């Protein structure tokens, strides 16, 4: 009994600092945001309004139209990352973890380097590259006979969001690459040797042996991509501004929340309505994480057992 009590207090003392910091900087602000979303500002007073901010957000055409547009753009932003960033990251990790590949450390650093750059720097670099006036894209396409493909990619509604998504993929591809790379290196050599003895070649070794073993890491990478994309804000804001130019075609939930909270030249900022948008973002992410924890992760755990 004494040993159990002592163990309890040791564990509690180790967890307390982290729990305190997490409560102060995560739980308490979240509760405050939820509380703020149930009020409205009248003069200098905060008046309880119940679900009025949510009614306005979902049912008034001005706000509901912007919300649905931002949600659709955010979903497209996420799909591009899932279809491009994560598969390419897996491919890079598979190549770099293969035996016989030289300069692995150099290539890992090169692919991971954009992740360490400031988002503002990334946005500025790509704006220079893609600029119709002084960018190098037009010249590069002309040099290979594809000058007809050049257009102001960031200035057209049809291409701006895809371009920004690929810019984000270029910056963040090092994260899934390193996660999958670490998972591949953690596979026991005995399993790899047994597969080779059974006659598996390079492709069969990866698809039949390595890939099933790293599925938990791939699932983790997918949910991290989901969380990061539905929290995205900085790259869009740095390149296209809070309005998601051109004509809200790059507006996502993060920029919509910022514009609603702080206001812009088209509308006045609303503290309470902005908090409601933030809570909508939180619940979208909560649903996605819950599906991962209670469906995907449970199935993966059952498969491993």
CA distances from 305 to 186, 195, 207, 300, 301 (A): 18, 21, 20, 9, 6
Q: Say if CB 260 and CB 269 are below 8 A apart.
A: yes
Domains of the chain: 53-304 (1.10.3720.10)
What pLDDT, on a 0 to 100 scale, did the predictor assign at position 177?
Answer: 95
- Global pTM value: 0.90
Burial class of residue 199, CB neighbours in 10 A (0-12, 13-18, 19+): exposed
Q: Which two tokens stand for residue 204?
A: 């069969």
Q: How large is the C-alpha radius of gyration of the chain? A: 24
| pLDDT at residue number 93 | 94
Outline where DSSP puts E strands in the chain. Answer: 39-42, 45-48, 263-264, 267-268
For position 156, what pLDDT does the model report?
93
The whole-angstrom distance between residue 257's C-alpha and the CA centroid of its chain comes to 16
End-to-end CA distance of the chain: 33
Which tokens belong to 56? 């306005």
pLDDT score recorded for residue 195: 84
pLDDT for the residue 293: 82
Q: Is 126 exposed, middle or buried (0-12, 13-18, 19+ CB in 10 A)?
A: buried
Ramachandran category for residue 177: left, alpha or beta (phi over 0 → left; psi -120 to 50 → alpha): alpha
Q: And the tokens for 32?
A: 């405050």
How does pLDDT run along the chain (305 residues), one tens digit per residue? 566 678 878 888 888 888 999 999 999 999 999 999 999 988 888 999 989 999 999 999 989 999 999 999 999 999 999 999 999 999 999 999 887 788 888 999 999 999 999 999 999 999 999 988 888 888 888 888 888 888 999 999 999 999 999 999 999 999 999 999 999 999 888 888 888 888 778 788 888 889 888 988 999 999 999 999 999 999 999 999 998 989 999 999 999 999 999 988 767 889 999 999 999 999 999 999 998 888 776 666 555 55
The token pair that represents 126 in the structure block:
């790509």
The two structure tokens encoding residue 267: 């509308």
Quote the CA–CA distance of 202 and 205 in Å, as a whole number. Answer: 5
């Amino acid at each position: 009994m004494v040993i159990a009590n002592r163990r309890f207090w040791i564990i509690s003392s180790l967890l307390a600092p982290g729990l305190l910091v997490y409560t102060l900087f995560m739980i308490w602000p979240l509760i405050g945001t939820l509380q703020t979303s149930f009020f409205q500002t009248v003069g200098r007073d905060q008046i309880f309004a119940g679900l009025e901010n949510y009614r306005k957000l979902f049912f008034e055409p001005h706000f509901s139209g912007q919300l649905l547009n931002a949600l659709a753009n955010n979903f497209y932003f996420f799909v591009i990352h899932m279809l491009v960033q994560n598969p390419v990251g897996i491919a890079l990790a598979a190549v770099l973890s293969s035996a016989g590949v030289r300069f692995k450390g150099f290539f890992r650093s090169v692919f991971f380097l954009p992740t360490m750059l400031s988002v503002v720097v990334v946005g500025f670099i790509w704006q220079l590259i893609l600029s119709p006036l002084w960018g190098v894209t037009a010249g590069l396409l002309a040099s290979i006979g594809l000058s007809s493909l050049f257009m102001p990619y960031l200035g057209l509604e049809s291409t701006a969001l895809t371009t920004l998504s690929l810019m984000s993929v270029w910056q963040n591809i090092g994260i899934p690459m390193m996660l999958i790379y670490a998972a591949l290196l953690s596979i026991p050599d005995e399993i790899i040797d047994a597969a080779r003895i059974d006659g598996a070649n390079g492709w069969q070794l990866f698809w039949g042996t390595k890939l099933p073993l790293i599925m938990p890491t791939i699932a983790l990478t997918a949910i991290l991509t989901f969380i990061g994309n539905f929290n995205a804000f900085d790259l869009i804001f740095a390149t296209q501004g809070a309005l998601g130019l051109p004509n809200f075609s790059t507006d996502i939930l993060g920029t919509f929340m910022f514009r609603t909270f702080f206001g812009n030249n088209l509308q006045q900022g609303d503290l309470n309505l902005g908090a409601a948008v933030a809570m909508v973002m939180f619940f979208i992410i909560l649903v996605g994480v819950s599906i991962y924890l209670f469906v995907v992760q449970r199935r993966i755990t059952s498969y491993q057992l």
